[in-house]
Amino acid sequence: PRHPRDLAGHDCILLRDTAGGQPFAWECRRGAEVVPVAARGRLLVNDTHSLLAACLAGTGIAQPLAFYIRDHLAAGRLVDLFPDWPDETFPLYAFHRGRSLPPARLRAFLDFVGEIAADM
């Protein structure tokens, strides 16, 4: 595929959204440009490790987050099909009980996750 829209004709490995049971929607981002992708495939997995294993086995094209595949890309085990579409999003939410400030241990965890996310 030369463009994200070309993925519609390829076998993709889909990841199930546990909240709704349906596959996550695919999209590619480059700055303000967002291209929805009509990803279809015969394999639907429940977790990122299965997604990555299936992709490494040659089952199809996957859309994992960059931090999961960094080492595989560097080693040449995987290929980035669209390096000029580098932007990705991953919503991450944290909820805590009560209206007061979160406990110190939760605040420390949130700060830790924020630092990791900033390095991605």
Q: How do the pLDDT tens digits run along the chain, 120 residues long?
A: 999 999 988 999 999 998 889 999 999 999 899 999 999 999 999 999 999 999 999 999 999 988 889 999 999 999 999 999 988 766 677 777 777 888 899 889 988 988 877 665
Q: Which residues contact 21 (CB under 8 A, 6 or more apart)?
A: none
Residue range(s) defining the domain that contains residue 47 = 1-120
Note the pLDDT of residue 50: 97
Contact 45, 51 (CB under 8 A): yes
Note the pLDDT of residue 82: 94
Alpha-carbon distance of 32 to 44, in angstroms, equals 29
Residue in the structure block whose two tokens are 């999209």 = 27
Note the pLDDT of residue 120: 59
**Nearest to 79, CA basis, from 95, 62, 54:** 62
Beta-bridge partners for 34: 29
Global pTM reads: 0.76
**Nearest to 95, CA basis, from 109, 78, 79, 116:** 109
Which domain CATH number covers 116?
A: 3.40.190.10
As for how many domains the chain has, the answer is 1
